[in-house]
Each structure stands twice: as structure tokens, then as C-alpha cells.
Chains A and B, each alone.
Chain A
């Protein structure tokens, strides 16, 4: 059994070391007082030339924490209210969801502009996950999707933690400004819960990652909406705003349709439900009834001895008389 557990632990270490999200591979560390940096180099994908005067906004969305031999992230306040969990940073909707969440609440960010060499350095960063969003006013000729970067990251080659991260934002496409082509996007709402769901939700249409229109989905429109005549000059996305408490949102995009699912985690019915565990202001009573044992045993011995003594001393006295 011990050997099996040893190998299981060894296997886990190997698995953790290879765990990766985005283009990087973070593993555990003691992130005590160290700080990191994120350097961006903005390069035009068509000309390979660096681009200056492109501004980026940096949002600190989560704090990195040690996780045994791994790493985990905890949303910073108030991002923990965004009600979206991710299997990895690769999910394209996570940065969009967080971006809308942050912009709607006017959350703090750091803004820097690329220098003549196309470089931007966000430094003195506490370990965590950072949402990086171009200031689209400064990117009129191309589009860069928002993305998330973590510092630190684990370099498997050197076997060391890297706190200073270099990232090259992906210029996704150059906007064909002369196109007249139109497209459409349909959003559908799904619920996965066994309880009664809210009557409506709000979804927003994003054009080049900025909110342009909001609609309400409900039974009246069969939890669905379609936007037509959308210019192909832009990137179009749909994000749910204000995900109801207790629900976790997920997005599934297939061609021109975005399915937004709100799931309410519920207990597995095969498991035994806990009894009422509400004992306010008290730690659980976790003791056996032990104290009566020595008390009763001592009392019993004393009583028996006393009785025995009374009986026998009385007998002796009688005999002597």
C-alpha cells in the first residue's frame, strides 16, 4: 500500500509539473515577497515591425496561491462576483467576461503605452493572474483580443520559476475597412438547475470587445436573440452580464451561435444529505462521554469499600463482644 501511495505521489508530482494553461506552465512555489513583471512586445504580424503608441490596460483579477505542489488562483474582490469559472486561461470567453465585468464597474487598471520599440513593461506585480486589454482607441488598424497572463510561471527547461514574463500579443486580423459583408450572431440561453430560475438575464453584444448593445432574454423571446446586419469589419461577441448569484456561467460558440449556460451546482442525490448542522456560535461537540468513567469507578469503589468496611467492622465488633 505504501509503495502504491509513493508511486501515486510521484505520478502526481510529474503531472503537476506538466500542468499548463495558456502558453505557459505554472507550477507551485512559495510566492512570499517576490514580485514579477509582464513585458509585451507589439509587433505587426504583416510587416514584422514593432508598433509604438499602442496602449494596454492591466487588470489584476486574481491572486496566485500555493497549492501543495501546484498553483491556484483566487479572484480578487470584486472579481469573485463574476460567477465564471474556467478550466483554463485558454477559454476565449474568460477575458471577455472579465473585461465586461471590469468595465461596467469601472474597476482600477494600469495603463501603459508601447515605446518606440513596441515594448511595454508592467512591473512590480504581485503573483497572480492579470487581464490585459488593448486600449482600442489606439489600435485603429488591427484587433488584439483581451488575454490573461499569469506571473510567475514555471520554466520546465530550466526547472525554475520565472517571475518576469514576456508575452507577444496576437494581432488577430487587420480590419478590412472596405468590406461591405455582413454577418449575424445568435445568442441562446440555457439553464442547468433543478430549482426555479430567474425570469430573465441580460446579455450584451460586443463589437471589437466593447459593449454596444444590451438585450434581455426571457421566456417572452424564448431565451434567444439574433443580431443581424453586423459588419464583418469587426469582431462580434456576446457576454452575459450580472450572472445571477449561485450560478456559474459558461459559453459555447458554434459558428454564429453563442450558447450561454447558467449552471447551478446541486448535490448528488445518491449521497447522504447532512443532518441539520447549524449550531450557531459553537464548535462541534466532538467528545465521548468519558468523564463519568473515573468518577463512577471511584465513587463505586468508595461506596463498596465503605459498605464492606461497615459490614465487616460491625461483624468483628459483635464477635469481640
Chain B
């Protein structure tokens, strides 16, 4: 009887460990897939931006919409660069859960109205290290017209999932957020335009 229990415990233990390993492998695969996708898209984005910069198109001073470019069926508004955590990622113009598996997405706003909010998964290849940022760290966003906006981190905080009012039109020039490890809160990084921009 005791032997039976012992074997049951051991088998259960092995199953638990196998499931943990399976989840780990799956998560790593998702993260890696997003990373590979980002690398491919980044090349296209940089090429498109270079081409856009050559165009002699008229600026629309009243247009607060951001220029978007379609790559591989999805529209992009530019790319993010965060030197502190060695992160360079494209940003999609719209969000849904399919898009989020591939790339950070615009959740709200525009760089032209200083209220852009970008959300991404907490993959290590995406915003997994967002919580490592501290006040004063530099965040750069380059739009599809080639304009680079430089920001400084002002606040890193945890928000509850229901805190939508704390990311929309808050007066912060840029907000990045992702889930924490447990998934029950959002690591939120608030940024303001750096220097004399």
C-alpha cells in the first residue's frame, strides 16, 4: 500500500515536471518566434523608412495620424529602441492578440499628440525586461517618416488590469506596458520627451 502511494507520488511528480518543462519550451518557442519575426520586419521597416525619407511628399501639419506601412499583411507605425535593455522592436499600428504574438502594438494615441501607448507581451524577446528600466533611461521611437523621438523614463510602476484611465491621455508623452511575471498586473513605464525636443 505504502509502495503504491510512493509510486503515485513519483509519477505525479514526474508529470508535474514534464508539464512545467513543456510550458517552458512552448513559451521559449513563442518568444523565439516573435524574435525572428521582429528581426525580419525590422529590416523591412528600416528600408521603408529610408525610402520614405527620400520622398518629397508634403507634410500635413494638421494630421495627427501616424504614417503606417504595410509589411507582411500588417501595418506598422515605426520601431522602438531601448538601449538599456538592448531592445529594438517594430511596432504595429493596431493591436489584437494575434498581432501581439508577433510584435509590440499601438494600444492608443500617436507620437504627434504625445500620448502614444504601446503594449507588448512579456516575452524575453519583447517587453520581458521592461521592469529593469529605471528613471532617466532612454527610450527612442522612430516613426515611418523617419522621425526619431527620444524619451526619458520618468516612472516605472505596476498597474492593475482595470487601470485603463492611467494610460490614456495621462500627460505622459509615451507609455509602454506589459504583464508582470504572474500576469495579474501591468509593468508600466512612463516617459517624457527628452531634453530640448
User: Which residues of A pack against B, CB within 8 Å?
Assistant: 1, 4-5, 8-9, 11-12, 15-16, 19, 21, 28-30, 62, 65-75, 85-89, 129, 268, 270-272, 274-277, 281-297, 299-311, 314
Contact = CB atoms under 8 A, between A and B. Distances in A.
Contacts of B145: 12
Nearest to A315: B3
Contact of B107 (A75, A284, A306, A311): A284
Contacts of A303: 9-10, 12-13, 16
27 contacts: A5-B46, A9-B146, A12-B145, A30-B197, A67-B147, A69-B148, A69-B197, A85-B62, A272-B73, A277-B96, A283-B167, A284-B95, A284-B100, A284-B107, A285-B161, A285-B179, A286-B122, A288-B27, A288-B123, A295-B20, A297-B17, A300-B12, A300-B15, A300-B18, A304-B10, A304-B13, A308-B6
B13 to A, nearest CB: 3
B146 A307 contact: no
Contact of B13 (A62, A69, A302): A302
Given A270-B70, A277-B96, A296-B23, A287 B122 contact: yes
What is the interface residue range for chain B against chain A?
35 or more
A85 B73 contact: no
Nearest to B72: A272
B70 A21 contact: no
Contacts of A88: 58-59, 61
Nearest to A71: B61
Contacts of A1: 46
Contacts of A272: 73-74
B119 to A, nearest CB: 5
A86 B95 CA distance: 28
A304 to B, nearest CB: 3
Contacts of B178: 286-287
A66 B30 CA distance: 38
Contacts, number: 229
B112 interface: yes
Contact of A86 (B53, B60, B121, B159): B60
B2 A310 contact: yes
B168 to A, nearest CB: 10
Given A5-B46, A69-B148, A285 B183 contact: yes
B14 interface: yes
Given A288-B30, A291-B181, A292-B20, A281 B164 contact: yes
A121 to B, nearest CB: 25
Contact of B53 (A11, A74, A290): A11
Given A66-B197, A85-B60, A286 B119 contact: yes
Contacts of A65: 112-114
B14 A268 contact: no
B94 A286 contact: no
Q: Tell me if A's interface is mostly helix, strand, loop or mixed.
A: mixed
A124 B141 CA distance: 34
B8 interface: yes
Interface in B94-131: 94-100, 107, 111-114, 119-123, 127
Contacts of B19: 292, 296, 300
Interface string B62-99: 11100000100111000000000000000000111111
B98 A293 contact: no
Contacts of B147: 12, 16, 67-70
* B20, B161, B164: residue with the most chain A Cβ atoms closer than 10 Å: B20
Nearest to B43: A1
Contacts of B3: 310-311, 314
3 nearest A-B pairs in the assembled complex, by CB-CB distance: A287-B179, A304-B13, A307-B9
Contacts of B114: 65-66
Q: Which of A294, A296, A311 has the most CB of B within 10 A?
A: A296
Contacts of B197: 28, 30, 66, 68-69
B50 interface: yes
- The CB with the most chain A CB atoms within 10 A, among B6, B15, B50, B70, is that of B6
Contacts of A75: 62
Given A21-B59, A65-B112, 18 more contacts: A11-B53, A73-B61, A73-B62, A86-B60, A86-B62, A88-B61, A282-B164, A283-B167, A286-B121, A296-B17, A299-B13, A300-B15, A304-B9, A305-B13, A307-B12, A309-B6, A310-B5, A310-B9
Contacts of B164: 281-283
A211 B62 CA distance: 25
A272 B101 CA distance: 15
Given A290-B183, A296-B19, A72 B64 contact: yes
A297 B121 contact: no
Given A286-B178, A308-B10, A310-B5, A274 B60 contact: no
